[in-house]
């Protein structure tokens, strides 16, 4: 039952819910404020009434005369309209009063509090009564009671209550109308955002909300959504490009394997020809296997499923091992492979992945450097280890630098296949550096060479 109620509540338009909450909170505030005013006014009027009783009591008691041993009220005593008095002897018997319909005649003087106004009900009316003792030379002579009707305090309160009962509903009606108007105006940008968002589809993420906005919550929402669409658009473009490039890379070896298989199946061949065909199929399958392995690594890294075995590593030893392994390949191409280890730096990382990162960078440097040298250097910069691989190759044009770490991106697309690359090596290097809490940067000048810098947190 409660779940159904919540479901129905969520189906109500937001502008109506905001208005309802606004009116509800306003009604609570008005009710609380009105109650505060009402009770404070009631208390103030009662205090004023009591003050009048005290003043009248003092005035009457000071004017009492004694004739033949008896106290007498002065008939010419000026009293405020509505003030009534009663005079009692010491035993509580009433002597005189000016009150026609008289609650004072039934007043129990001996049990009534002295000098403390109290409310007395008589003949359907409520009276505020003050009892004052009359003494002379310390001897109790009589009692004086002063009374005023509480209607004089209730009349303003009734008017106030009537005003509150009329004003609060009218205020809430006006507030509800104003709340609907304000909610509609406040949510109008949201409606425009929703209308624009409905026009954006998964196949066309190039469109943006492009709505005018200020430095407020709605403006921040519009800016955030546009930034999100930018990221999604770039991600979808990379995904489409990745899929197209992967298909393109696999098409050639698959075509070669198919053609070789069909060729050997169409007619009889010599054992040597069979061996050549199988060798080609084996090489193409190995090439595809290598590509699929790299694609799987990148896919697992995207899903954060690739687990790294982190341990303290001496990067100096890693540089020594990789440069020693690639010395022969560099020498065969006529290049000098140098290492400069200014100081050993310890990092916390996965030895296999960091070795793969450095090997990829050295491989690229040797591959794209026709003559000169490749320098691998290591130093400590503050709390970071700085690993650099610098070559004297042809360099990378500036327009290619922003895309150099994208998957399947190649600067020279014509020779990439012959060089045996997939265009994934630098993407893997970028992921390895990021997974270790570091980053990789590239600097290049056409005709002078390229420098890759890897910064990793040092221990």
Domains of the chain, by residue range, sit at 1-198, 217-302, 311-457
First to last CA, the chain: 59
The whole-number pLDDT of residue 69 equals: 56
The whole-angstrom separation of Cα 218 and Cα 183 is 13
The whole-angstrom separation of Cα 439 and Cα 435 is 9
| Degrees to nearest 5, angle at CA 45 with 44 and 50 | 100
Percent of the chain with pLDDT over 90: 23
CATH of domain 311-457: 3.30.565.10
- The answer to whether 307 and 301 are in contact (CB under 8 A) is no
The whole-number pLDDT of residue 67 equals: 61
User: Over 342-379, what HEC string results?
Assistant: CCCCEEEECHHHHHHHHHHHHHHHHHCCCCCEEEEEEE
| Longest CA span, the chain | 163
The whole-number pLDDT of residue 451 equals: 94
For residue 193, give Cα distances in angstroms to 182, 211, 223, 224, 459: 18, 8, 11, 12, 48
Q: How many helices (H) and strands (E) does the chain have?
A: 9, 14
Angle between helices 271-302 and 217-266 (to 10 degrees): 170
Q: Is this structure's pTM higher than 0.85?
A: no
**C-alpha closest to that of 423 among 243, 235, 245:** 245
Residues contacting residue 314 through CB under 8 Å, at least 6 positions apart: 344, 345, 346
Residue numbers of the chain with a pLDDT score lower than 70: 1-11, 65-70, 72-76, 99-106, 123-124, 137-138, 201-216, 218, 235, 238-249, 294-306, 410-422
> E strand or H helix at 339, and its extent?
strand 336-341
The whole-angstrom separation of Cα 120 and Cα 237 is 89
Tokens of 364: 């690229």
The whole-number pLDDT of residue 416 equals: 46
Instruction: Find tokens 């005023």 and name the residue.
Output: 148
**C-alpha closest to that of 157 among 41, 48, 50, 34:** 41
CATH second-level architecture of 217-302? Orthogonal Bundle (1.10)
> b vs e for 153-191, b when ≥16 Cβ sit within 10 Å of the residue's Cβ?
beeebeebeeebeeebeeebeebeeebbeebeeebebee
Instruction: Find tokens 């020594």 and name the residue.
Output: 320
- The answer to whether 357 and 324 are in contact (CB under 8 A) is no
The whole-angstrom separation of Cα 183 and Cα 1 is 30
The whole-angstrom separation of Cα 36 and Cα 1 is 38
């Amino acid at each position: 039952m409660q779940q159904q109620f919540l479901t129905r509540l969520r189906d109500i338009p937001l502008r109506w819910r905001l208005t309802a909450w606004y009116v509800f909170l306003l009604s609570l505030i008005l009710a609380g404020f009105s109650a505060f005013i009402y009770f404070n006014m009631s208390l103030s009027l009662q205090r004023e009434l009591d003050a009048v009783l005290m003043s009248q009591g003092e005035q009457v008691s000071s004017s009492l005369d004694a004739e033949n041993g008896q106290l007498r009220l002065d008939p010419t005593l000026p009293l405020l309209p509505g003030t009534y008095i009663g005079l009692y002897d010491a035993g509580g018997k009433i002597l005189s009063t000016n009150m026609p319909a008289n609650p004072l005649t039934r007043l129990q003087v001996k049990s009534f509090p002295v000098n403390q106004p109290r409310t007395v009900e008589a003949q359907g009316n409520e009276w505020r009564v003050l009892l004052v003792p009359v003494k002379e030379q310390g001897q109790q002579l009589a009692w004086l009671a002063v009374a005023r009707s509480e209607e004089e305090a209730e009349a303003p309160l009734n008017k106030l209550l009537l005003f509150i009962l009329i004003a609060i509903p009218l205020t809430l009606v006006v507030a509800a109308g104003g709340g609907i108007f304000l909610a509609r105006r406040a949510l109008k940008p949201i409606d425009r955002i929703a209308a624009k968002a409905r026009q954006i589809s998964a196949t066309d993420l190039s469109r943006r909300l492009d709505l005018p906005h200020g430095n407020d919550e709605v403006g921040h929402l519009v800016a955030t959504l546009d930034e999100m669409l930018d990221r999604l658009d770039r991600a979808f473009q990379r995904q489409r490009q990745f899929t197209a490039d992967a298909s393109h890379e696999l098409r050639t070896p698959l075509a070669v394997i198919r053609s070789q298989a069909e060729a050997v199946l169409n007619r009889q061949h010599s054992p040597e020809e069979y061996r050549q065909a199988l060798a080609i199929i084996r090489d193409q399958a190995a090439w595809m296997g290598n590509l699929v392995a790299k694609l799987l690594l990148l896919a697992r890294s995207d899903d954060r499923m690739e687990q790294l075995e982190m341990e303290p590593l001496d990067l100096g030893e890693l540089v020594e091992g990789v440069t020693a392994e690639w010395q022969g390949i560099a020498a065969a191409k006529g290049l000098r492979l140098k290492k400069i280890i200014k100081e050993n730096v310890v990092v916390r990382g996965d030895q296999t992945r960091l070795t793969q990162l450095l090997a990829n960078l050295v491989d690229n440097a040797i591959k794209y450097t026709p003559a000169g040298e490749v320098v691998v250097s290591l130093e400590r910069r503050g709390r970071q280890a700085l690993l650099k691989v610098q070559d004297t190759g042809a360099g990378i044009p500036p327009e290619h630098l922003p895309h150099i770490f994208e998957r399947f991106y190649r600067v020279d697309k014509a020779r990439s296949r012959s060089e045996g690359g997939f265009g994934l090596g630098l993407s893997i290097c970028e992921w390895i550096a990021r997974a270790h809490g570091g980053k990789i940067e590239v600097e290049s000048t056409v005709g002078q060479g390229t420098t890759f810098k890897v910064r990793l947190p040092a221990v």
